[in-house]
Amino acid sequence: MNAVCRICESLNTSTRIEGNGHWHCVDPVVDRQFPYRVVVCEECGHVSGIWDRDRNVQYVEEEYITCDDDLEQYTAYVEFVLAGVKAMNRAPRLAEIGFNRGALMRRFSDIGFECHGIEPGAENVRAARKRIANGKLEQGFFGADWISQYPEGYFDVIMMTSVFEHVTEPFDILRTVRPYLKPDGQLFLVVPDLSRYTPTYQANAAHRSVYGCSPLVFFYRNFFLCYGQHINHFSGASLARYLAAAGLKTTRIADIGNLWVSASPADPVGTSLQFPEIVDYHHALMDHYEDLLNRTRACVVDRLAGRRIVCYGAGKEFGYFHGVFSELGVDIIAVGDDAPQRQSVHGVTCTTPDALMELHPEVCVATSFDYEDAIAAKARELLGSGAQVYTLTELLSQLEDPLPNFTSIQLDPGTRPVTV
């Protein structure tokens, strides 16, 4: 059965990727894989993830936490937002949809914004209220019943930061929030960039330090595309089209791996949600990723299969990595873990790092989302010259992945990327 497009509601969709999806990738014990497919709408080009789990229950019961810390990149993001807020004689009014634990919202509260928001996780809401005592923060899922408590044109800023890729009705949300923005108000979205789901882009050290992404997250059933929390996938070009159709003119886009987008109320552009050039562009991206997926797997098999392999530094994340290697027929003898409590993970013994040397491995892989260079250095110190040590970046260093070049795909007229 064809999936219904979440943007234009067309049934004319085609499946491009099928495989195992993941809810949380770092749980080493509980197997959370499930059937998942990625489809492209043949009318508007929207890329959607289709799965059969109750997302709402999981967001409420599992307390999906994006961040409980005041991150360094929030400084740049606050400046990005403030650049779109005109000077005024009163506190700017901000609504954040999916404010999580309020770490970002607190930045705006501290500089005098009047803060409102809605968030599904009860513990998240309680944590945010401790941070933002004067905010009007409510628990629940976004809908017209929540935002209609405010008069139209009430908000100077409406934000969805790492939220819009999760929602089941993205186009309806755009149309719902638009009337509640002031005429010179701004909607701000932060979403992953569909054109950046590539291993060498993830391997960029600057991006990895910000987003915690190693190249390995790409290729296990194409991780980002089959990531259970993300069911919408946007490129800058497609998002600008969908915003325009909903009556929101894209004013600025910053591409730093994620897309930072601002848009202001405008007259809806056209009545059709048919974007053939976006359809072609997104299919070309899917072709590109399929080729990368195959070459990445071949690269790993070529370097690892049939050798005595240990891993080091994975900690609780190793359950995910082991799934990657197992599917490719790569067997792991053991994983060295610095954690005080070690346990068997999917049949692989967890041991002390020092004990890895006694296993006489040929190869050690530094399997970690973060700090792979430091972990690899320690592994080399432990194992000496008796084993070859790879970081995940080094493992995939042979890959080249220039993106498809579509010069005909432009953002809305007048929109220019900005540097953050």
Res 25: pLDDT: 46
55 pLDDT more than 50: yes
Between 131 and 397, name the one with better pLDDT: 131
Average pLDDT, the chain: 81
195 pLDDT more than 90: no
- 3-class DSSP state of 179: helix
Band of residue 350 on the pLDDT scale cut at 50, 70, 90: confident
Band of residue 197 on the pLDDT scale cut at 50, 70, 90: confident
Average pLDDT on 307-336 reads: 79
Between 290 and 358, name the one with better pLDDT: 358
- C-alpha to C-alpha distance for 369 and 202, rounded to whole angstroms: 11
- pLDDT over 70, % of the chain: 74
Q: H or E stretch including 253?
A: strand 248-256
- C-alpha to C-alpha distance for 265 and 35, rounded to whole angstroms: 39
Band of residue 99 on the pLDDT scale cut at 50, 70, 90: very high
What's the pLDDT tens digit per position in 19-49? 777 665 444 444 566 788 899 999 999 999 9
Band of residue 371 on the pLDDT scale cut at 50, 70, 90: confident
Res 399: pLDDT: 62
- C-alpha to C-alpha distance for 279 and 286, rounded to whole angstroms: 11
Res 221: pLDDT: 47
What's the pLDDT tens digit per position in 1-17? 689 999 999 999 999 98
For 34-63, letters b (16+ CB in 10 Å) and e give eebbbbbbbbbbbbbbbeeeebeebbbeee
219: which strand partners?
none
Res 216: pLDDT: 47
**Cβ partners under 8 Å of residue 235, min gap 6:** 193, 194, 195, 278, 281, 282, 285, 409
Res 268: pLDDT: 84
280 pLDDT more than 60: yes
175 pLDDT more than 60: yes
Q: Are strands 47-50 and 33-41 parallel, antiparallel or unpaired?
A: antiparallel
Between 391 and 137, name the one with better pLDDT: 137
Domains of the chain as residue ranges with CATH:
73-281+409-417 (3.40.50.150), 307-395 (3.40.50.720)
Band of residue 240 on the pLDDT scale cut at 50, 70, 90: very high
Among 122-131, 140-149, 236-245, 405-414, whose mean pLDDT is lowest?
405-414
Where helices occur in 83-229 by DSSP H, the ranges are 103-110, 122-131, 144-147, 170-177, 199-202, 205-211, 216-219
351 pLDDT more than 90: no
331 pLDDT more than 50: yes
Res 17: pLDDT: 84
415 pLDDT more than 60: no
82 pLDDT more than 50: yes
In this prediction the pTM is 0.83
269 pLDDT more than 50: yes
Q: H or E stretch including 74?
A: helix 73-82
CB 69, CB 127: distance < 8 Å:
no
Band of residue 202 on the pLDDT scale cut at 50, 70, 90: very low
